[in-house]
Amino acid sequence: MLDQLIKALAELEEDQVLEIVRKELAGGTQALAILQACQQGMTEVGDRFEKKEYFVSDLMMSGEIFKQVGVILEPGLQSATQVSAGAVVIGTVQGDIHDIGKDIVVNMLKSANLDVTDLGVDVPPAQFVDALKETNASVLGMSGLLTLAFDSMKETVGLIEEAGLRDKVRIMIGGGPVDGGVCRVVGADNWGADAQAAVRLAKDWLDIGAQG
């Protein structure tokens, strides 16, 4: 049945996904096993997006389905032990309130078993620094859809350096106008053209950190 769950999520069959999740729980399947199956389904969604078989709207839909699954599984997951693959802080920078792209990235990161602290939108540079200190996260994601967001990104990177955290944190940025040139100007380590690219960056960095 879990194979059916993976397929249903990959096909964005919302009603079927929720029905299978509830049946599996009622039948005694561990919440963690169900979650892991859903994570595999989300990985398939990401792969289809990369192949241009799916679009941003499909990523948004998969994220909403995954969130609903999380609500259903939450009581069972509280007593389960799932080792996080790493911690990430993310937010839309000060001066920008766009959150659709950020929210997609957050959902994809969570589905990849990462511990995500989402600071929301219009986030001041100091709040990013405080969150990095509190969570001890080694990856920071900053989103911005407006060109004026670049100054906020650069200021945040500068503040992270002043706080003595720059050599401990890898920084990625994303958003409609972001490219390699913007990445260099603001002082980030890399940039992601879409949610899947952001997830790949975060996982690669965290894997390197775990090995080193």
pLDDT of amino acid 83:
67
pLDDT of residue 79: 60
Question: Would you state the pLDDT for residue 75?
Answer: 83
φ, ψ for residue 158 (rounded to 5)? -60, -40
The pLDDT, as a whole number, for residue 78 is: 67
Question: What CATH code would you report for 87-211?
Answer: 3.40.50.280
Enter the tokens of residue 197: 């690219």
Domain covering 2-77 assigned CATH 1.10.3720.10 in the classification: no
pLDDT in tens, the chain (212 residues): 899 999 999 999 999 999 999 999 999 999 889 988 998 999 899 899 889 999 989 988 998 999 899 889 888 876 655 667 799 999 999 999 988 889 989 988 988 889 999 999 999 999 999 999 999 999 999 999 888 899 999 999 999 999 999 999 999 999 988 999 999 999 999 999 888 889 899 999 998 765 55
Residue for token digits 């992601």? 192
The domain limits of the chain are: 2-77, 87-211
161 contacts: CB under 8 Å, gap ≥ 6: none
- pTM of the full structure: 0.77
CB atoms closer than 10 angstroms to residue 102:
28
Among all chains, which residue has been given the structure tokens 């100091």?
126
CA distance 70 to 66: 6
pLDDT at 113: 85
Indicate left, alpha or beta for 13 from its phi (over 0: left) and psi (-120 to 50: alpha).
Answer: beta
